[in-house]
Structure 1
Amino acid sequence: MTAVEGRMLIRRPPDIRSSEITAESVYRRRRAVLKALALSPLALAGCGRGAESQAGQAANAGAPLEVARRGAYVVGDPPTDYDAATHYNNYYEFGTAKDDPAKNSGRFRPQPWSVEIAGEAEVTGRFALEDLLRPHPLEERVYRMRCVEAWSMVIPWVGFPLGDLLKRFRPTSKAKYVAFTTVARPDEMPGLAYPVLDWPYREGLRIDEAMHPLTILTVGLFGRTLPNQNGAPLRLVVPWKYGFKGIKSIVRIAFTERQPVTAWNRAAPDEYGFYANVNPAVDHPRWSQATERRITGAGFGLFGNRIATLPFNGYAEQVASLYAGMDLRRYY
């Protein structure tokens, strides 16, 4: 894959290796994702003030996706219901209350979409969402998700391993980290008017974390495209970390040699560490992280079941080796 001035080059068949040719079944699934995004009420929501109520309702309904397979690492916990997962959210670009993202994201338009690939890699440029999805088959993974505010959900995400995508850009030996940036559109994201954070929202991972097979890029949940309030059209999911690491509506991915500045770590470094691994032994300065409210359905945050928090959110067997020898109280 190559890019010149942000546009894809079309190569003649003799120049294309057989391994680079997308299978027809994968191509059709990829086209189905783009069609679902384009035809979803998300993209068709009105933009006038008289349409805000209707647009807000549309932001809660994703279009059906064709899922290729049920992915690995699926947990057996009962999933949170769709209504709770799409109405109890943190997405400060649309407001700081948990119901603000669902109410205020109807104006946001997730299509057309492109992502800039930059930094320490052999292949860089701006790529359409369609090209990023090629040739990755979508899979469903049911993950535990833990918020730093001590509540949690279980969500069936639809996506593919981030590492599979990153390898396509051939990061160099200087690429030690991967930095992500969220879109910033003040006309569509009313929360940007308030200096809660230094906008746009930024996050980052160490490259071995980004390449871990548990880390996925997500285009849907519950078999449907992502609603606006859940990070449409493309978000990150890292299930062993607190939820603020799961950056939404990604428009830039950069390979860096140095640890990138991240939004919450910059705003409050004593509360939000760069690593943000779920650790019940390290409390937030204002509350304990030893337990969490598992939100399953009706009542959302008010009536969640209180359960014990697990180290690495229950994924220690898969990821603890990434941090061997590190002081997890210091590198929180």
Structure 2
Amino acid sequence: MLIKRGPNGIDLPYSSEITPREVFESRRTFIRQMAVGSIAGGALLEMVNREAFAQAGQKLAAKPNPAFVVMDKQTSFKDASTYNNYYEFGTDKADPARNAGTLKTRPWTLAIEGEVKKPMTLDLDSLMKLAPLEERVYRLRCVEGWSMVVPWVGYSLSELIKKAEPTGDAKYVEFVTLADKAQMPGLGSPVLKWPYVEGLRMDEAMHPLTLLTVGMYGEVLPNQNGAPVRIVVPWKYGFKSAKSIVKVRFTKEQPKTAWNLAAASEYGFYSNVNPEVDHPRWSQASERRIGEDGLFAKKRKTLMFNGYNEVASLYTGMDLRKLF
């Protein structure tokens, strides 16, 4: 499932330049028709490539799973793909959409290692065929106080875990993401220790909600959203959902995760959405839904576990104010 992209190094347009889907389809057709005509030239071909990268996506055959659908209004594709945290491509919310054109998603391999009986390395096609793809509509809440509702495509991470057959010593799952300075200009920043590492307790990773994700809105993931493979953990703050994963390690010890290493007092290992535990610099009691609420509109009340109360049993007996 190859994605047509422009030459490496060509930046995306700014978000304000990206047109609605019903417009860009006809626009791309018109440009291609001109490109094969007498006026086809380098500048026009560059326009075609930039359009293809910004908008085109490989369709995925995924059956909607009604057991995993929130009824909130979905965030638009434009908003979800142009307002992102992905520090490997810059710290501004618009940077990933502008800069992620340098990311090469083919070929791609995912290594499974550590405390497992069956270590393995899977290419992207094998990974996509490991289990039937589903579309699930999840909320995703950012620690900065904003949220989205996105139709993700993938399957429960537990399907991959079962294939690897973890040993009795596997207590945690660690996710290691790509760190390639040639592809990721943000790696020159000392804001985090690279590569970006995240982790879950084994029972969290095995929960049916934890999604190994290869697409969104019925298409493969855009580069800026963590292509070609990421996880989505909808009851935790968004930074727990590691992007562009190259290794999954099963460990005895709790992984040393990127944001916890950077600021342990602000970003705990668990990072469950908990409106009663404020970030040291702002409240977590409310949130702004991207693309829906205006700057001065009333914010939404943040829900415990982001509304996914079915995970509460995972934390029975834990003090979620201390183990945040």
TM-score (norm 2): 0.85
Query: Per-residue displacement from partner, 1:195-245 (whole Å, max 9, x unpaired)?
Result: 110000000000000000000011111111100000000010000000000
Q: What is aligned with 1:83?
A: 78
Unpaired segments of 5 or more residues in structure 1?
Answer: 1-34
Identical-residue share of aligned pairs (%): 57
* 1:77 alignment partner, SS class: coil
Contact 1:59–1:229 (Cα < 8 Å) also in 2: no
Range with greater deviation from structure 2 (166-175 or 56-65) = 56-65
Q: What is aligned with 1:269?
A: 264
Range with greater deviation from structure 2 (246-255 or 126-135) = 126-135
Q: What is aligned with 1:258?
A: 253
- Cα distance between partner residues in 2 of 1:94 and 1:178: 25
CA root-mean-square deviation: 1.7
TM-score (norm 1): 0.83
CA separation of 1:56 and 1:319: change in aligned 2, threshold 3 A: farther
Moved over 6 A (4+): none
How far has the Cα of 1:56 moved from its partner? Answer: 6.1
CA separation of 1:304 and 1:275: change in aligned 2, threshold 3 A: farther
Q: What is aligned with 1:279?
A: 274
- Cα distance between partner residues in 2 of 1:290 and 1:101: 28
Residue of structure 1 aligned with 2:7, choices 31, 42, 46: 46
Residue of structure 1 aligned with 2:314, choices 303, 313, 322: 322
Q: How does 1:1-332 map to 2 (within 5 A)?
A: 35=1, 38=2, 40-41=3-4, 44-48=5-9, 58-296=53-291, 302=295, 306-316=299-309, 318-332=310-324
* 2:187 alignment partner, SS class: helix
Query: Per-residue displacement from partner, 1:126-161 (whole Å, max 9, x unpaired)?
Result: 221222223311111101110000100000101100
- Cα distance between partner residues in 2 of 1:147 and 1:291: 11
- Cα distance between partner residues in 1 of 2:166 and 2:231: 19
Unpaired segments of 5 or more residues in structure 2?
Answer: 14-46
- Cα distance between partner residues in 2 of 1:252 and 1:201: 11
Give the aligned length. Answer: 289
- Cα distance between partner residues in 2 of 1:234 and 1:166: 15
CA separation of 1:188 and 1:304: change in aligned 2, threshold 3 A: farther
How far has the Cα of 1:303 moved from its partner? Answer: 6.7
- Cα distance between partner residues in 2 of 1:210 and 1:138: 18
Contact 2:12–2:54 (Cα < 8 Å) also in 1: no
CA separation of 1:176 and 1:327: change in aligned 2, threshold 3 A: same
Q: What is aligned with 1:4?
A: none
* 2:198 alignment partner, SS class: strand
Structure 1 letter corresponding to 2:94: D
Contact 1:218–1:236 (Cα < 8 Å) also in 2: yes
